[in-house]
Amino acid sequence: MWAPGYDRSPRSSMSESPSTASNTEPVSSTAYRDCLRHLAGGVSIVTTKHGDITHGMTASAVVSVSAEPPLVAVVIDRGHSINPLLEGDDACFAVSILAEEQRELADRFAFLKDGDRFLRGTWEHAETGSPVLADSLAWLDCRVSARQPAGSHTIFVGSVVASQVRRPDVSPLLYWNRAYRALSAD
């Protein structure tokens, strides 16, 4: 978005580092992960219901896209079992934003391979039928409006059809430097 006073022209005073100016190869996967582990992210559970199948996963790659119209994006590994459920024409998903005391539930949805992930927590169904966590900080219920392959992942953009803030004064669960974190009171 352009704003008055924002100069979009290249800055002649900025110079590229000699180590990156001629480097056309991407950084290694290890270097990439090492850098991005320093980007803090909120932790959410992304869920979907497709026919008789209900599925969910822990995610930190959730981002606001637009307020008008309300859009949110989730970025999911194409190898994850939730991915095919989000490919249909009528696909939907919900995002439940977790509180800092919900680490165990985040781990359950991240690591439980066999068994029903939904046996823990109190779950309700949003407008699309996707499950939402009753005691989450907030949730968004979405219909998939766009998909974009991106490397090993797919970016799913959802049109938000319903949302609710349940616990506005509770701190969120964060993920930073390869571990869950809580906000500091400082």
8 A C-beta contact, residue 40 and residue 58: no
Amino acid at 68: E
Low-confidence stretches of the chain (pLDDT beneath 50): 1-19, 21
| Residue 102: CB atoms within 10 Å | 24
pLDDT score at 40? 87
CA distances to 84, 95, 171, 176 from 81, rounded to whole Å, are: 7, 17, 30, 25
pLDDT score at 23? 65
* The two structure tokens encoding residue 177: 């430097």
Q: Identify the structural domains of the chain with CATH numbers, from first to last.
A: 42-176 (2.30.110.10)
**CA angle at 124 for the pair 122 and 127, rounded to the nearest 5°:** 160
Distance CA 36, CA 178 (A): 10
pLDDT score at 90? 94
**Sign of the dihedral defined by the CA atoms of residues 90, 77, 84, 93, in that order:** negative
**Beta-strand (E) ranges in the chain?**
41-42, 44-50, 53-59, 62-67, 70-77, 92-97, 123-125, 131-133, 138-150, 153-165, 174-176, 179-181
